[in-house]
């Protein structure tokens, strides 16, 4: 049976094949141009759903990375401010130590009071640091400066709120340090008020004088009576005995030099008036505590004792003369009273050991010749005499231990400097040390936050890489494959055009010719 295929049917078949070849070519060209396998919902409905979910996860992950970047700005700014505060506190401590030594006088103390005032101003600037218009130490009240002057004193007007940042799908972290912590540290301390330095001896090394700061070698001048001036070169002296013998030899016996009855300084006797001064702008006499004058025949130097240590015998401390053996002290803390008998102590180290045994958590330390009691928390405590021996008073630790106050101690230090009260100036050193420990702890905490942010950023970037890789697998084309498919589609379309032109080559117009 003969089957006749009409021209119209053959034409429809050819045109359909031609259109399919063209559609395939256009599809390959679209993928080659966009380098994406899925360009519309119709391309791969299943892949479109996966791509939408992956894009949402990528967007969310990018928001976490942005949060980490903003959080780092706050944490890094806090770190810089805390480091600068630590340096200022160190400067203030140097001032307190300097002005409580024998080298201080009314002029230097007045100048130092002004220096402390300027340092307080720098502290205010640091604690009122703002980043992008937000004050970093203000708690959650970030729009207003947290530290202000109120009646001559510094007041904190921020709050204690935490600022948190989300660093992952299920993780948040605290980013700020509220400024209220600087108004009272995390531990209470009671600085001592009695210098427990050992008595001077002929064998005391000059390098150990002034609580370990030593002395300044050079020459001094001594004016005796109506104007006889002696210049004595003390270069090369090693001990207190060397200084005393050189002065007596240099003045040819017109003066005598002894260690004072209280054991803390030198005493020069001769025909008054007596005056000891410096030579060529030196500081030797000042470092020996004798840069002064008197109308009488006895010139008493200031305290230049060396710093005690745990091996210092209590019997070598003039402040405890007539008060040995020690008695007991009472420690009032957390609603209880503990009686500590120190009668068996022979050295300062014995005091520390007995204190640590009876009061675990509290610490009895030696700080530049003074005892200091440091509590384990911010709770206040009280130490008083436990019997009639007056032991707590003799040791200089009778009183109340309170949290360290950054600006409060600055005000107290300025007041003491203006009043010329060296004991009060030195009493500030203990609280400054406590503040230093508080700042160190804050720096460690903030450093931990920086490490956490580094870790979080690393995790988020790894997650971003995995999500983008999965998205690429669903969406992007295989370059080599699409190039081959495009070449085949072009060849197929060209072949379709050629076949079609051949099949429809014989037509009515050609026949009539």
pLDDT digits (tens, 9 = 90+) for 450-482: 999 999 899 999 999 988 888 877 776 656 676
Query: Max alpha carbon distance in the chain (Å)?
Result: 158
Quote the pLDDT of residue 3: 60
Please tell me the distance from the alpha carbon of residue 54 to that of residue 59, in angstroms, as a whole number: 9
Q: Which of residues 18 and 174 earns the better pLDDT score?
A: 174
How does residue 442 score in pLDDT terms, banded at 50, 70 and 90? confident
What is the bridge-based pairing of β-strands 188-191 and 130-131?
unpaired
Token pair of 184 as six digits = 């009272």
β-pair partners for 155: 148
Inform me whether the pLDDT recorded for 60 exceeds 70: yes
Considering only residues 204 and 46, tell me which one the structure prediction assigns the higher pLDDT. Answer: 204
User: Taking a C-beta distance cutoff of 8 angstroms, is the pair 220, 232 a contact?
Assistant: yes
Residues making up the chain, counted from first to last: 513
- Comparing CA positions, the residue from 430, 421, 442 lying closest to residue 402 is 430
Contact 424, 366 (CB under 8 A): no
3-state secondary structure of 141: coil
pLDDT band at 98 (very low <50, low <70, confident <90, very high): confident
Give the mean pLDDT of the chain: 84
Give the pLDDT of residue 250: 92
CA distance 116 to 122: 10
pLDDT of residue 46: 78
Q: DSSP letters along 215-253, please?
A: ---SEEEEEETTTEEEEEE-TT--BHHHHHHHHHHHTTT
What integer pLDDT is reported at residue 189 of this predicted model? 79
Percent of the chain topping pLDDT 90: 32
pLDDT at 43 over 60: yes
For tokens 């996860």, the residue is 57
pLDDT of residue 147: 87
Where would I find the beta strands (DSSP E) of 219-368?
Answer: 219-224, 228-233, 255-259, 266-270, 274-278, 293-294, 298-300, 328-333, 336-341, 363-367
pLDDT greater at residue 28 or residue 325: 325
Note the pLDDT of residue 409.
84
What pLDDT digit, counting tens, does each position of 122-135 carry?
A: 999 999 999 888 99
pLDDT at 472: 74
Q: Give the pLDDT score at 243.
A: 94
Question: Would you state the pLDDT for residue 332?
Answer: 92
Q: What is the pTM of this model?
A: 0.60
The DSSP secondary structure of 366-419, one letter per residue, reads EETTEEEEE-SSS--EEEEESSTT-HHHHHT--EEEEE--HHHHHHHHHHHHHH
**Among candidate residues 262, 322, 250, 309, the one with its CA nearest the CA of residue 289:** 262
pLDDT score of 503: 61
Is the pLDDT at 377 greater than 80? The verdict is no
Q: Is the pLDDT of residue 360 over 90?
A: no
273-308 pLDDT tens trace: 999 999 988 899 999 999 988 989 999 998 888 888
Higher pLDDT, 496 or 458: 458
The per-residue pLDDT for 404 is: 67
pLDDT in the model for residue 158: 84
pLDDT higher than threshold 80 for residue 117: yes
Non-local (6+) Cβ contacts of 491 within 8 A are none
Judged by DSSP in three states, 317 sits in coil
Residues 152-193 have pLDDT tens digits of 778 888 888 888 888 888 888 889 988 888 876 566 778 788
Task: Say which residues have a Cβ less than 8 Å from residue 37's Cβ, sequence separation at least 6.
Answer: 31, 43, 44, 47, 474, 475, 476, 477
- Tokens of residue 424, six digits: 């009060």
* Of 31-40, 396-405, 453-462, minimum mean pLDDT range: 31-40
Confidence of residue 430 (pLDDT cuts 50, 70, 90): confident
- 47-51, 353-357, 507-511: range with highest mean pLDDT: 353-357
- Positive/negative CA dihedral, 251, 255, 260, 265: negative
* CA atoms of 195 and 476, how far apart (whole Å): 80
Looking at residue 506, its pLDDT comes to: 58
Q: What does the pLDDT read at residue 306?
A: 86
Residue 504 has pLDDT above 80, yes or no: no
In this prediction, residue 113 carries a pLDDT of 92
Please report which confidence band the pLDDT of residue 34 belongs to, taking 50, 70 and 90 as the band edges: low
Position 239 scores a pLDDT of: 95
> What stretches of 402-478 show up as alpha helix (H) in DSSP?
406-419, 422-475
């Amino acid at each position: 049976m003969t089957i006749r295929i009409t021209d119209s049917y053959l034409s429809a078949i050819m045109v359909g094949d031609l259109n399919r070849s063209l559609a395939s070519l256009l599809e390959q060209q679209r993928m080659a141009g966009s380098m994406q396998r899925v360009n519309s919902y119709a391309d791969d409905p299943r892949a479109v759903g996966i791509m939408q979910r992956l894009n949402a996860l990528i967007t969310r992950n990018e928001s976490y990375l942005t949060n980490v970047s903003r959080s780092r700005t706050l944490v890094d700014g806090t770190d810089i401010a805390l480091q600068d505060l630590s340096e200022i506190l160190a400067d203030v401590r140097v001032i307190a130590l300097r002005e409580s030594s024998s080298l201080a006088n009314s002029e230097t103390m007045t100048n130092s009071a002004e220096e402390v005032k300027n340092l307080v101003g720098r502290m205010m600037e640091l604690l009122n640091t703002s980043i992008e218009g937000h004050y970093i130490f203000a708690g959650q009240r970030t729009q207003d400066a947290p530290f202000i002057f109120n009646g001559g004193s510094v007041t904190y007007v921020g709050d204690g709120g935490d600022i948190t940042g989300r660093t992952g799908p299920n993780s948040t972290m605290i980013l700020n340090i509220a400024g209220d912590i600087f108004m009272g540290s995390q531990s209470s301390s009671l600085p001592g008020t009695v210098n427990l330095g050992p008595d001077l001896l002929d064998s005391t090394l000059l390098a150990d004088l002034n609580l370990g700061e030593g002395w300044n070698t050079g020459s001094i001048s001594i004016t005796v009576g109506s104007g006889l001036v002696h210049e004595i070169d003390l270069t090369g002296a090693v001990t207190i005995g060397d200084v005393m013998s050189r002065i007596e030899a240099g003045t040819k016996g017109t003066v005598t030099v002894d260690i004072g009855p209280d054991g803390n300084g030198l005493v020069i006797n001769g025909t008054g008036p007596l005056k000891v001064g410096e030579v060529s702008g030196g500081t030797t006499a000042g470092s020996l505590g004798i840069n002064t004058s008197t109308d009488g025949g006895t010139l008493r130097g200031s305290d230049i004792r060396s710093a005690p240590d745990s091996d210092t015998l209590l019997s070598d401390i003039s402040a405890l003369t007539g008060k040995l053996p020690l008695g007991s002290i009472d420690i009032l803390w957390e609603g209880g009273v503990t009686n500590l008998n120190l009668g068996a102590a022979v050295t300062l180290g014995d005091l520390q050991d007995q204190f640590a045994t009876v009061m675990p958590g509290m610490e009895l330390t030696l700080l530049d010749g003074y005892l200091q009691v440091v509590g384990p928390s911010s709770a206040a405590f009280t130490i008083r005499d436990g019997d009639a021996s007056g032991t707590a008073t003799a040791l200089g630790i009778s009183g109340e231990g309170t949290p360290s106050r950054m600006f409060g101690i600055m005000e107290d230090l300025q007041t003491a400097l203006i009043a010329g009260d060296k004991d009060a100036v030195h009493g500030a050193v203990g609280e400054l040390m406590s503040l230093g420990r508080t700042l160190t702890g804050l720096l460690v905490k903030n450093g931990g936050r920086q490490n956490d942010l580094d870790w979080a950023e690393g995790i988020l970037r790894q997650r971003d890489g995995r999500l983008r890789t999965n998205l690429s697998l669903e969406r992007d084309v295989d370059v080599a494959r699409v190039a081959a498919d495009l070449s085949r589609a072009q060849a197929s379309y060209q072949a379709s055009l050629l076949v079609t032109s051949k099949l429809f080559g014989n037509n009515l117009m050609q026949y009539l010719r």
